[in-house]
Amino acid sequence: MKAETLSRRDFLRHSGFVATGLATGGTIIFGQDYAWALSTSALDPHTAATLMVMARQLFPHDRLGDQYYAAVVDALDKQAAGDAALRKQLTDGVAKLDAARGLPWLQLSDGARNAVLKSVETGEFFSTMRSATINNLYNNPLVYRLFGFEGSSVEYGGYIERGFDDIGWLPNA
């Protein structure tokens, strides 16, 4: 297997991102699409990273980058900052995921992760994560664009004049 070489320019660019992230003191997660960061105040970095991967595992979409799933964690973090019970539920839920196989849940294969999620799917933690992911992933206007959904039409008078009959595969009347 051939080792990848890193040019000096790439090294300096990547180390600049890391230095900036470390200076902010938050959890830093880099995406493939572009550099972005997730800074959490109520959740520790391991919990935040686990919740983000869990959100992707629950609703996987190849065309969505991690930054869209990080929005779920950001919303949960903001909510947990003012709700100690939610913060405890999330950290205890991640601890339960980690304890299920004796390894951190993030280190498991996709199949093993799914099996662990299946074992906790009737619990309140799973329900909270499922609801938060649905609400914060699919209500994101940036995600709308990636799926080809134009968004709400109510404020524009409905769909009658905005694409209701845009299908091109039917003959014109």
First to last CA, the chain: 62
From residue 136, how far is each of 1, 9, 29, 161 by CA, in Å? 40, 37, 18, 29
In this predicted structure, the answer to whether residue 147 has a pLDDT above a threshold of 70 is yes
| Whole-prediction pTM | 0.71
Tally of domains within the chain: 1
For 13, the token pair is 């660019």
Confidence class for position 164, pLDDT limits 50, 70, 90: low
Q: Give the pLDDT of residue 4.
A: 52
Query: pLDDT tens-digit profile of 22-79?
Result: 454 444 444 444 456 778 899 999 999 999 999 999 999 999 999 999 999 999 999 9
Distance (Å, whole) CA 32 – CA 19: 18
Asked whether residue 165 is domain-assigned, the answer is no
Domain containing 49: what range?
Answer: 41-150
The burial of 66, by beta-carbon neighbours within 10 Å (0-12 exposed, 13-18 middle, 19 or more buried), is given as: buried
Asked whether residue 108 is domain-assigned, the answer is yes
Asked whether residue 114 is domain-assigned, the answer is yes
Q: Give the pLDDT of residue 88.
A: 98
> Would you put residue 31 in left (φ > 0), alpha (ψ -120 to 50) or beta?
beta
Asked whether residue 95 is domain-assigned, the answer is yes
Asked whether residue 158 is domain-assigned, the answer is no
Q: Give the pLDDT of residue 126.
A: 98
Distance (Å, whole) CA 118 – CA 121: 5
- Better-predicted residue by pLDDT, 95 or 169: 95
Q: Give the pLDDT of residue 160.
A: 72
Q: Give the pLDDT of residue 151.
A: 75
